[in-house]
Structure 1
Amino acid sequence: MNNTNGKALDIARSYVNAIANKDVEMILSISAEDVVCTSPIGQTKGIERFRAFHDGFARMITNLTVLAVYGDDEQAVVVYDAETHPVPHSIIAELIKVKDGKLACTNVIYDATPFASYMATVQPH
């Protein structure tokens, strides 16, 4: 992977900055209509489910620090430290693939254990 330029790298930078700024509309504007997101909580398909995924994450974030962004024209990797209401620090990596100039899929990698522990303490509405 070339870490200095490329379409996927540019999209990855825009994507992770939009996550940090809780700018869900920006995330959607660079994503394909049939975007696929796979994470420890499951897989979402389509722009509306991707919106719901990022709306929920944006509500949880208190701070996000970008640690690394590498990529080329077809794929990129972003790594960031997410400070959230339920978990003080979670290191997250995402493998992003781009097709036709849009974010086509992302594989989100993190330790879900602390989030599961938190969810066990939350009372259902």
Structure 2
Amino acid sequence: MTATTGSAVQIARAYTEAWMKADIDTALGYVAETAVCKAPNGVFEGKEGFQTFIGPFAGSLTGATLIDVLGDDTHAAAVYTLAAPFASDFPGMDYITVENGLITEVRSHFDLSPLIQAGGNPQH
């Protein structure tokens, strides 16, 4: 990534801020119909797949902090920390690809150790 401003950065920031507030409809407004989300618990395709992944996840959060979004016009990395019932400092990062003003791919990466330490199943 060569810059810290650009369309992907702006779209990634708006998308991330929306799902962090559990505003799934707004978040999905940034997602292309054929988008793909690759997450630790599977691959989710299309807006419906994003809703399946993001909806329950965002709804389970007790807090969220967007640390930064870095990128350029086509790619951005949103770095954040989340609070959930099992952990208060749950770090994550989404690598987001934007084409024609919409998100076409999200690769979600999480430190699963807080979930594992809490005795949870990282596949759910």
TM-score between both structures, scaled by the size of structure 2: 0.89
Q: Distance in 1 between matches of 2:20 and 2:114?
A: 21
Percent same amino acid at aligned positions? Answer: 29
Q: CA deviation at 1:35?
A: 1.0
Which residue number corresponds to residue 61 of structure 2?
61
Q: Distance in 2 between matches of 1:86 and 1:35?
A: 30
Three-state SS of the structure 2 residue aligned to 1:61 is coil
Q: Distance in 2 between matches of 1:85 and 1:34?
A: 32
Which residue number corresponds to residue 70 of structure 1?
70
Q: Distance in 2 between matches of 1:13 and 1:111?
A: 20
Which residue number corresponds to residue 120 of structure 2?
118
State the one-letter code of the partner of 1:2: A
Q: CA deviation at 1:39?
A: 1.1
Q: Distance in 2 between matches of 1:89 and 1:43?
A: 25
State the one-letter code of the partner of 1:19: W
Three-state SS of the structure 2 residue aligned to 1:115 is helix
Count of residues paired in the alignment: 119
Three-state SS of the structure 2 residue aligned to 1:118 is coil
Q: Distance in 1 between matches of 2:111 and 2:95?
A: 15
Q: What are the ranges of 5 or more consecutive residues in structure 2 without an aligned counterpart?
A: none
For the aligned residue pairs, the C-alpha RMSD in angstroms reads 1.5
Q: CA deviation at 1:56?
A: 0.9
Which residue number corresponds to residue 32 of structure 1?
32
